[in-house]
Structure 1
Amino acid sequence: MTNAAWLILDRFIHHSRRRRGVIGGDATTSSLAKDCAGRHVRVSLRIVDPPAVSRLHLHWPARPQIALPFTAPAAIAAHRNSILFRMTVPFDDYRWWHDTPSFPTEHFVYSASLSSSSPPSLISLPPCFYGGGIDPVLDKAVRQHRSQRQRIIFDEDMGILCHGGDNGDFTVAHLACRRKKLQLCLLHHLPSTGGVAMEWSLQKLQIPLDMTIDLSSWRNDVVIPIGRSLCWVDYYNGMLLVDVLAVSAQSKPNPQHLHGIRLPAQALKSRRLYDDAGEPDPFRHVGVTDSGIIKLVCVFADYHPHSDDDFKIITWTLVDISKGSWIKDVDTIMVADEFFGLYSSATQSCLPRVKPTFPVMSLVDPDVICFLLKKERNNLTLMVEVNMRSKVLQSSAL
């Protein structure tokens, strides 16, 4: 899993424990499916309490053991009791192993049962071909599994929204921003409607006239569920809220389906320090609690980005979605000396004195944030859970 995959699983863990009554210790559930080549795939989940790291394990014994660098499976997004993840499916024919980017990509949704008597499910999503192109020469590379190249879909542009109560309904969406235009690919899984086969649809979103976000510089970082919408977030620009349940293959583009929210002015003044495409930003996070509180968390280190002793943690709360109004949480601001001053007990004094990264807000208490502490010299990595309002380091874990 990626450095930030635990952030995705944390959203799942809080919901799963609350719904199923799991309050402590380890819990493991698994489910079985097949990949597009007909090989069996089993997924299991090891659940532990934050800030410890829960893990999604992929068991795929029939996969060809290729020697080339291989794209590892990755968790993409989670909502309620479901996790969206992707994996690359290698060919059996070794003659194609020189070109791993041509391997098909497959997406699955793992859903833990909300009833202790029912097993979890593992659903293989159909491939999306919109924009994949039809070329007899190029498509030859994927004919072992499929007759056409897939649409290029980046993890950070995908999200999942569970809806319809406990019926197992969910929607997976991919938003592409190209040349100030927005294309939305949607896939609805609606078992409550009679098991209609899943199909992708493509919509061009109409941009509202009052849009205040500059889409020419848009770079998506994360997708989060908010109500009946999915929200695409650029940590250095703003948020694009899309009502994915109102958009369908038959509906005409409607500016009411899309709503833009700018970030607070202070957050907009900072630049992106890490510019590796596809890599998670280590200093910012937008999260929403189960009760609907939306917060932006920033670890500011603009002037001395490589110093561990000069940073400030600031959070904002979105108080009005329609107006895009933010309020700074002045009681939760924390500077470096205050943060390191939390290392009080004998155990906590062993924590590395390094800049906290990858902040994640608790789904239960918006004042509680988890951070990653990584000591490069001895390869020590820990997670800490901090209550920013009471200024207490609540727990830590390797």
Structure 2
Amino acid sequence: MAAANAPAGSGGALPNWVMLERFIFRRDDPQSFREDKRTSATGVTSVGAHFRVSFILAEPPTPSRLYLSWPGGPKREKMCHLAAAHRNLVLLRLDSFVDPSNPSPFGEIAHDYFIYYVAADPRSQAQSTPALRRLPGCTVHNAHYGRPIPRPFVPWGVGLLCCGEEFAVAYLGVGWRDPETETLEVELWVLRSTIIGDSTDGDEKWEVMYLPIQGQDVEHSNLLNFTTSEVIPFKNALCWVDYDRGVLYCEDIFGGNPKATFTGFPPDDSSFHPSGPSGRPALYRSLCVTEGGRTLAFLDVFRHDRADLGRMVPDTGFTIVSMAVTETQSANSFVVQADDLWATHTPEDLPREVMMLPLLSMDDISVAHFVLYDWVGRFGKFSLVTIDLSTKRLIGSVVPYANGEEDLSTDNADLVKAKPSFFMHFLPAEFPKFLNLQR
């Protein structure tokens, strides 16, 4: 296992960016809580429970991890979420029962969002001290209770956008305000604030806006069933991505006149998907910000056997396609066949497994990271690999990550058990370069 075993910064260069594992490692026992004090911060939930978080950083493609100690928190699973990241900020969510004495599935739950932040000047020589700030909750009036209740958001449908000292947290849904009009609209919830703000003074409030959906692809897409896979911050906009359909691009989030534009993916991706994409495209596609934030690019892996899951059919392979979707000086596109890779790498160097959950480097559009999944046993085995798309060569070596049943007696046990039903993209984040750790 090579899963962030040593904190970054203890030697060598600090990663310019990291791949955050979405799975949060809950460790309430002080003996099992892994901590790098340089990345640690403490907070208090809305129901008064204290907690501590610490990031264990690693150079991609090794995933970085978030460890959480929350002794007073609910013991149920999936009550903590790594929601979003942008620039020097990370957005976390902790869910608590409003009445801790009623932890039933029907108990009211408070969704506490926290901004984890560090100093915004990476040129500073002083080491930055991370901190957590709780944001005001989003509530709506409930006629049954006669009072406001929490407005729940799907965790991976929440976006974070940072601009200097300002930031915005936003959630988007698609639907009808008036079904009789048959006109779909975007329902956009936004909270705007500043890093040095204070949610206790009452000035920060969530607001909701209803926006028409623009774009030439709107009438040809079933947007009523738009389901967010992830939210990508790009320049002054947030991109809500449905890997089945396309992207809802919302710009001017900080202003008073946001616009929502839908762009579909290339029609059936016919240039490299002869019969259209597979039924689980979110496992094989990603929309990525690269080249230091200047370029938005689409990365896709097409299985030739057209299966969604499982080992590839013998004598088949896959095609990797990367396309820049914004005009930049280096607007490159790459096509890499499995045979291109296998012809120059032995099975020992590069296992003959399909590549999943693709992610481009935040710095280099030609460098891509992938998950290799070995469908063996009850849990399977995960490893990660980095490919230079321009040379069609492996960079470094394959990085083991989770070894299935072999890891059930290790610190990886809860991750191994969760992974078969937790196929989520890694979250790219560049906050480490603002920490000013040892370089």
TM-score, length-scaled by structure 2: 0.70
Give the Cα separation in 1 of the matches to 2:324 and 2:261. Answer: 18
Q: Which moved more, 1:213-222 or 1:171-180?
A: 213-222
- Is the partner of 2:325 in helix, strand or coil? strand
Matched, 1:186 2:190: yes
Displacement, 1:155? Answer: 2.0
Residue-by-residue CA offset, 1:28-79 (whole Å, 9 max, x unaligned) = 4111111011111211111110011101111212225x4xx43242212111
8 Å contact from structure 2 (residues 99, 107) kept in 1 = no
**Number of equivalenced pairs:** 341
Matched, 1:14 2:16: yes
Give the Cα separation in 2 of the matches to 1:185 and 1:90. Answer: 23
- Distance verdict in 2 for CA 1:219–1:99, change over 3 Å: closer
Matched, 1:128 2:138: yes
- Distance verdict in 2 for CA 1:176–1:341, change over 3 Å: same
8 Å contact from structure 1 (residues 44, 58) kept in 2 = yes
Displacement, 1:117? Answer: 3.5
In the other structure, the counterpart of 1:111 is 117
In the other structure, the counterpart of 2:297 is 295
In the other structure, the counterpart of 2:28 is none
Residue-by-residue CA offset, 1:176-234 (whole Å, 9 max, x unaligned) = 11242210000111246898732101000122375546223422222111111111122
- Distance verdict in 2 for CA 1:92–1:183, change over 3 Å: closer
Matched, 1:374 2:373: yes
In the other structure, the counterpart of 1:7 is none
Give the Cα separation in 2 of the matches to 1:364 and 1:27. Answer: 27
Where has structure 1 moved over 4 Å in runs of 4 or more? 191-196
Match runs of 1:2-81 below 5 Å: 14-15=16-17, 28-64=38-74, 66=75, 69-81=76-88
Match runs of 1:194-343 below 5 Å: 197-208=203-214, 210=216, 212=218, 214=221, 215-248=223-256, 257-267=259-269, 270-274=276-280, 281-289=282-290, 290-301=292-303, 303-305=305-307, 306-308=310-312, 309-320=316-327, 329=333, 332-341=334-343, 343=345
8 Å contact from structure 1 (residues 158, 175) kept in 2 = yes
8 Å contact from structure 1 (residues 27, 46) kept in 2 = no
| Identity score, percent | 24
Give the Cα separation in 2 of the matches to 1:313 and 1:135. Answer: 52
**1:126 maps to amino acid:** P
Residue-by-residue CA offset, 1:293-343 (whole Å, 9 max, x unaligned) = 11111111264314524321112111459xxxxx882xx212222233453
Residue-by-residue CA offset, 1:113-134 (whole Å, 9 max, x unaligned) = 345443112111211114x634
Give the Cα separation in 1 of the matches to 2:243 and 2:399. Answer: 27
Give the Cα separation in 2 of the matches to 1:184 and 1:31. Answer: 30
**2:285 maps to amino acid:** R
8 Å contact from structure 1 (residues 236, 270) kept in 2 = no
Matched, 1:90 2:61: no
8 Å contact from structure 1 (residues 27, 48) kept in 2 = no
8 Å contact from structure 1 (residues 88, 103) kept in 2 = yes
Give the Cα separation in 2 of the matches to 1:104 and 1:320. Answer: 43
- Distance verdict in 2 for CA 1:27–1:311, change over 3 Å: farther
**2:242 maps to amino acid:** D
Q: Which moved more, 1:119-128 or 1:96-105?
A: 96-105
In the other structure, the counterpart of 2:25 is none
Q: Which runs of 5+ in 2 are unaligned?
A: 1-13, 20-35, 177-183, 401-439
Residue-by-residue CA offset, 1:121-172 (whole Å, 9 max, x unaligned) = 2111211114x63422xx8xxxxxxx632112112321101102xx3x2111
**1:316 maps to amino acid:** M
**2:85 maps to amino acid:** A
RMSD of aligned alpha carbons: 3.1
- Is the partner of 2:129 in helix, strand or coil? coil
TM-score, length-scaled by structure 1: 0.76
**1:240 maps to amino acid:** L
Displacement, 1:354? Answer: 1.3
Give the Cα separation in 1 of the matches to 2:128 and 2:372. Answer: 38
In the other structure, the counterpart of 1:23 is none
Give the Cα separation in 2 of the matches to 1:35 and 1:259. Answer: 36
In the other structure, the counterpart of 1:152 is 152
Give the Cα separation in 1 of the matches to 2:59 and 2:168. Answer: 27
8 Å contact from structure 2 (residues 53, 69) kept in 1 = yes
Give the structure, 1 or 2, with the largest relative contact order (CA under 8 Å, sep 6 or more): 2
In the other structure, the counterpart of 1:357 is 356
8 Å contact from structure 2 (residues 304, 317) kept in 1 = no
State which of 168, 172, 176 in structure 1 corresponds to 2:169. 172
Give the Cα separation in 2 of the matches to 1:98 and 1:86. Answer: 20
Give the Cα separation in 2 of the matches to 1:85 and 1:181. Answer: 28
8 Å contact from structure 1 (residues 15, 81) kept in 2 = no
Displacement, 1:259? Answer: 2.6
8 Å contact from structure 2 (residues 368, 386) kept in 1 = yes
8 Å contact from structure 1 (residues 236, 267) kept in 2 = no
Q: Which moved more, 1:258-267 or 1:229-238?
A: 258-267
8 Å contact from structure 2 (residues 99, 108) kept in 1 = no
Matched, 1:391 2:392: yes
